[in-house]
Amino acid sequence: MKEQDIHAELSSIRDLMERSAKFISLSGLSGVLAGVYALIGAGVGYVLLQDEYAALYHRHTYNEELLIVKLFLVAVAVLVLSIGTGVWLSIRKAKRNGQPFWNTGSKRLLVNMAIPLISGGIFTMILTYRGYYGVVAPTTLIFYGLSLVSGSHYTYSGVMSLGILEILLGLLCAVMPGYGLIFWTVGFGLLHIIYGTVMHFKYDK
């Protein structure tokens, strides 16, 4: 066997191993749509907060607990839409490329992302229950960034860069109280759109 044939075969084996170990069906378009959902959610949250400020300004009573419930429902809606769209587009991409969606890579990605995400979600609910609303935005950004970094070993390398940016944004948000919604919009909205666009043209074509 010629040396060139051996290198080609080794390259093919290495590519096959990487495909089985990593989840490469992640859709860049899903990142763009997740960012759009986050921008819409941030807009709804802004309107709800403005209503609260207006009520306080006119010395009307305002139900703070009801506001928290509404904001929580908006966040859940954004999360469900983002995950649902991501799964649907990734399944479609996997089928188009003749690859299984549920493989070793996707399982490892799910486990490694789920641990920080679930921990962060529980911690965020505890903070909300205790009334520490000012640190909810940085907490969600930081834990989400940790989740991306943790899962980046089992998918595209660009996911780690996005995770690091989310963590840095969350830390900056923590030292700038009062701007949580703005940082949340940038982190979950704009960064996702930019990342998703880059990944779409790099890997989805």
Look at residues 137, 142, 146 and name the one whose alpha carbon lies nearest to residue 116: 146
The contacts of residue 113 (CB under 8 Å, 6+ apart) are: 147, 148, 150, 151
Range of 82-86, 87-91, 141-145 with top mean pLDDT:
141-145
Look at residues 42, 44, 29, 41 and name the one whose alpha carbon lies nearest to residue 85: 29
Please indicate whether residue 27 or residue 196 has the higher confidence score (pLDDT).
Answer: 196
**In which band, very low, low, confident or very high, does the pLDDT at 17 lie, cut at 50, 70 and 90?**
very low
60: how many CB neighbours lie within 10 A of its CB?
9
**109 found inside a domain:** yes
**15 found inside a domain:** no
**6 found inside a domain:** no
- Sign (positive/negative) of CA torsion 172, 178, 179, 183? positive
pLDDT at residue 99 tops 80: no
pLDDT at residue 119 tops 90: yes
The three-state (H, E, C) secondary structure of 58-110, written as one string: CCCCCCHHHHHHHHHHHHHHHHHHHHHHHHHHHHHHHHHCCCCCCCHHHHHHH
pLDDT at residue 12 tops 60: no
To the nearest 10°, the Cα dihedral for 40, 114, 164, 45? Answer: 20
Please indicate whether residue 119 or residue 97 has the higher confidence score (pLDDT).
Answer: 119
What pLDDT sits at residue 171? 96
Enclosing domain of residue 32: 28-203
**18 found inside a domain:** no
d(CA 56, CA 53): 5
Query: How much is the average pLDDT of 94-121?
Result: 82
Please indicate whether residue 151 or residue 6 has the higher confidence score (pLDDT).
Answer: 151
- For the chain, the domain total comes to 1
**107 found inside a domain:** yes
**101 found inside a domain:** yes
pTM of structure: 0.79
pLDDT at residue 184 tops 60: yes
What pLDDT sits at residue 159? 86
E-state strands within 99-182 = none
**186 found inside a domain:** yes
DSSP structure class, residue 196: H
**5 found inside a domain:** no
